[in-house]
Structure 1
Amino acid sequence: MVEKRETDGKRIAGLLSSEVTGHENEPYGRLAVTNADPGVEATADGAHAYDVELDGERLAEVFVQPDRARVELRGGLTAARETAAEGGLRARPVGGEPPRLVVFVESGAEVKRALDVLGAAATS
């Protein structure tokens, strides 16, 4: 039997939020979901769903698009980029101030790998 592949951006962001809040072991115990918009609706450009904070400082923002979630990291970019590549997640750096790394989470199956990216960013 083949299970349906979860590709709804809002659902993917919700799964990632649950993973972030569901772990107490380091470094995940230092992460928190904040500024959540439970009524967020996906848009083509990406609607802000929530922030991920590390020890009270914003580490990433999560946006929902119709077919994926987008994580924009603001810290630990080198470790996050390496972990994303190892996990087969599509990621690209964004210039500007501050520089960011955008990681695309395109299915429910990629959520745990996205959590690994957040963990790597948190420990670097």
Structure 2
Amino acid sequence: MSAEEERDQSRSATHHIRVSKAFFRALCGAISELSIRTSDLYSFRRLLTHVLASPRPPVYRADAAILDRLCNPDEVSGGIHLTVRIESRHNDLLREFREHAEAQLGRPVSVAEAMRVCIFIVTGE
């Protein structure tokens, strides 16, 4: 691996988000479900990577009605503070998905809202 590739792998973005109890419950369920399904231990970071880095990211298949339901700031935001650090290339994928969701909904979509869609992809809830 070249020095440039190593440098790219070490770059990351840190997101500090405040989420609702419902978001946190859904996150815990998704991590548990994915860990059981794959017989491997997942974290919030690995869950996001799993969803965003798949060859054809399933988040793009969510229609506008699902996006509108999941990307609801009143239901996503809350008092539980979470910090997640993801690799820069996966953060770029998250940003691209947010732009896609914004185009579908006609309004801005926060990082937490986009992450909520990733959780939905794993659990269907």
Q: TM-score range by the shorter chain?
A: 0.3 to 0.5
Which of the pair has more CA radius of gyration?
Answer: 2
Instruction: State the TM-score, normalized to the length of structure 1.
Output: 0.34
Instruction: State the TM-score, normalized to the length of structure 2.
Output: 0.34
Higher helix share: 2
Higher strand share: 1
Which has the higher relative contact order, 1 or 2, with Cα contacts under 8 A spaced 6 or more apart? 2
